[in-house]
């Protein structure tokens, strides 16, 4: 690996960490769309900032563009508050308008601005190492590294300082307000961080990747954990993993780095979406199948409980009576046997004591919805879980 390669990977990793942190809270606040809006509508801010400073990496430009991001959020909320349209519609109204103002500004001044829409949307990580920051004539590293490094430092400081405030206002804005933590201040603080991060990162990685890096790692982490701190850590991990594997994928294919990182983000999400232990598609399908089997089991046990006559409890009769296909009847029979709820003697099925208690408890629970008694059953049976 040469220096430039290492620098690109460090920049990409720092960007992904800086995005994953606000991204986690955006995902939990169901505000994924807003990051898309910010990333597009900062364009006019960038263009105006560029006219004023003539420097794409100027901090003034970053503040200018971040301010446009906040304006986006305010406009979206204002339109939403009129009660005429829903949030996603409001977002859809605001960002194309601002984005097109940016495009028009670029087009009108294309002659004296070396700034094109493609570069803004896609960025070019590969060039980042060539734009160096010189302090008193000494090369201290790529500019992009310093910009994103400073933003990341601020983001982490704010996260550590205001973690509890972010958590409570995200989970329960009403409680936060009643405790004296203004949800509005926290909301706009988060939006400011998201805007500044977007602007700081767009030059290196482009607006599309910024959105992907904010949302995908957090959405992936959400599927895997029930703890906010772990969700943040996982989101950061997935972001960095995508950044580095995406870089090498691009290297190998000689393709766009931003495009490859986005692909990696998608693949990792897909993998977790399918295989996550409790929220993944396969786990959910398995649970549904299990639940269906358990409903059948309960129906079957109830039948046994209600019928003392031997002919009602003959294996063959059960198959006809409950009217299941053979396979399912067999599966249910086996499930009941495995849990020691029935005994089969000369093809006559009877409830065991355990099966009898289980059935009474389950029915009682279903009728009254009284929860306390069935805690012990939850561990073994999906049917009684949330």
Partner 1 sequence: MDKNIAVKVDDLTVAYNYKPVLWDIDLEIPEGVLMAIVGPNGAGKSTLIKAILGILKPIAGSVSIYGKPYKKQLQLVAYVPQKGSVDWDFPTTALDVVMMGTYGSLGWIKRPRQKDKKAALEALEKVGMLAFKGRQISQLSGGQQQRIFLARALVQNASIYFMDEPFQGVDATTEITIINILKELRKAGKTVIVVHHDLQTVPEYFDWVTFLNVKKIATGPVKDIFNDDNLTKTYGINYKVSIQE
Smallest distance, Å, CB 226 to partner 1?
Answer: 4
Q: Which is nearer to partner 1, 137 or 174 (CB)?
A: 174
Structure tokens at 39: 């990333």
- Token pair 């201040």 in the structure block, residue: 185
> Is 167 an interacting residue with respect to partner 1 (CB under 8 A)?
yes
- For residue 142, what are the CA distances in angstroms to 20, 98, 133, 155? 22, 30, 6, 20
Q: Which is nearer to partner 1, 78 or 130 (CB)?
A: 78
Structure tokens at 202: 């767009």
CA atoms of 226 and 222, how far apart (whole Å): 8
Q: Which of 104, 357, 370, 376 binds partner 1 (CB under 8 A)?
A: 370
Q: Which of 206, 336, 224 is nearest to 269 (CA)?
A: 224
CA dihedral sign of residues 152, 156, 158, 159: positive
3-state secondary structure (DSSP) of residue 235:
helix
Q: Which of 86, 108, 164, 354 binds partner 1 (CB under 8 A)?
A: 164
> Is 165 an interacting residue with respect to partner 1 (CB under 8 A)?
yes
Q: Which of residues 79-98 bind partner 1 (CB under 8 A)?
A: 81-83
Q: Which is nearer to partner 1, 171 or 275 (CB)?
A: 171
> Is 382 an interacting residue with respect to partner 1 (CB under 8 A)?
no
> Is 137 an interacting residue with respect to partner 1 (CB under 8 A)?
no
Structure tokens at 145: 């590294």
3-state secondary structure (DSSP) of residue 247:
helix
Name the one range near partner 1 by CB under 8 A: 86-94, 121-129, 172-180, 284-292: 172-180
| Site track for partner 1 across 218-237, x = CB under 8 A | ----x--xxxx-xx------
Q: Which is nearer to partner 1, 112 or 375 (CB)?
A: 375
CA atoms of 180 and 13, how far apart (whole Å): 36
| Site track for partner 1 across 181-210, x = CB under 8 A | x-----------------------------
Helix (H) or strand (E) segment spanning residue 111 = none
| Main-chain dihedrals φ then ψ at residue 223, nearest 5 degrees | -75, -15
Name the one range near partner 1 by CB under 8 A: 143-151, 176-184, 194-202, 284-292: 176-184
Smallest distance, Å, CB 364 to partner 1?
Answer: 11
Smallest distance, Å, CB 162 to partner 1?
Answer: 7
Q: Which of residues 6-65 bind partner 1 (CB under 8 A)?
A: 28, 30
DSSP class per residue in 52-107: HHS-TT-HHHHHHHHHHHHHHHHHHHHHHHTTSS-HHHHHHHHHHHHHHHHHHHHH
Q: Which of 114, 138, 368, 379 binds partner 1 (CB under 8 A)?
A: 368
> Is 136 an interacting residue with respect to partner 1 (CB under 8 A)?
no
Q: Which of 111, 114, 143 is nearest to 127 (CA)?
A: 143
Binding site for partner 1 (CB under 8 A): 28, 30, 81-83, 161-165, 167-168, 170-172, 174-175, 177-181, 222, 225-228, 230-231, 368-372, 385-386
């Amino acid at each position: 690996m040469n220096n430039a390669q290492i620098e690109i990977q460090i920049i990409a990793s720092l960007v992904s960490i800086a995005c994953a942190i606000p991204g986690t809270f955006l995902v939990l606040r169901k505000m994924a769309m807003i990051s898309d809006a910010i990333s597009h509508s900062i364009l006019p801010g960038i263009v105006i900032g560029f006219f004023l400073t003539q420097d794409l990496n100027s901090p003034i430009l970053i503040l200018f563009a971040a301010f446009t991001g906040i304006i986006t959020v305010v406009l979206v909320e204002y339109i939403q508050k009129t009660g005429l349209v829903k949030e996603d519609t409001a977002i859809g109204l605001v960002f194309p308008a601002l984005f097109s103002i940016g495009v028009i500004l670029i087009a009108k001044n294309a002659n004296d601005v070396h700034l094109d829409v493609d570069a803004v949307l896609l960025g070019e990580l590969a060039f980042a190492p060539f734009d160096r920051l010189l302090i008193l004539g000494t090369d201290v590293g790529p500019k992009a590294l310093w910009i994103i490094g400073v933003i990341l430092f601020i983001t982490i400081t704010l996260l550590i300082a205001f973690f509890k405030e972010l958590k409570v206002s995200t989970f329960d804005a009403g409680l936060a307000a009643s405790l004296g933590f203004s949800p509005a201040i926290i909301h706009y603080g988060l939006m400011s961080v998201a805007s500044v991060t977007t602007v700081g990162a767009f030059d290196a990685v482009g607006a599309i990747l910024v959105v992907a890096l904010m949302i995908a790692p957090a959405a992936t982490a959400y599927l895997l954990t029930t703890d906010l701190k772990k969700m943040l850590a996982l989101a950061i991990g997935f972001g960095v993993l995508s950044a580095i594997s995406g870089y090498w994928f691009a290297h190998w294919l000689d393709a766009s780095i931003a495009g490859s990182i986005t692909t990696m983000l998608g693949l990792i999400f897909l993998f977790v979406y399918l295989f996550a232990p409790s929220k993944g598609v396969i786990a959910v399908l398995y649970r549904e199948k299990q639940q269906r089997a358990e409903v059948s089991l309960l129906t079957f046990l109830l039948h046994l409980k209600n019928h003392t006559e031997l002919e009602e409890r003959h294996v063959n009769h059960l198959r006809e009576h409950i009217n299941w296909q053979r396979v399912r009847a067999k599966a249910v029979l086996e499930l009941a046997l495995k849990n020691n709820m029935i005994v089969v003697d000369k093809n006559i099925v009877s409830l065991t004591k355990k099966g009898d208690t289980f059935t009474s408890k389950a029915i009682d629970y279903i009728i009254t919805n009284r929860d306390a008694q069935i805690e012990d059953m939850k561990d073994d049976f999906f049917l009684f879980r949330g």
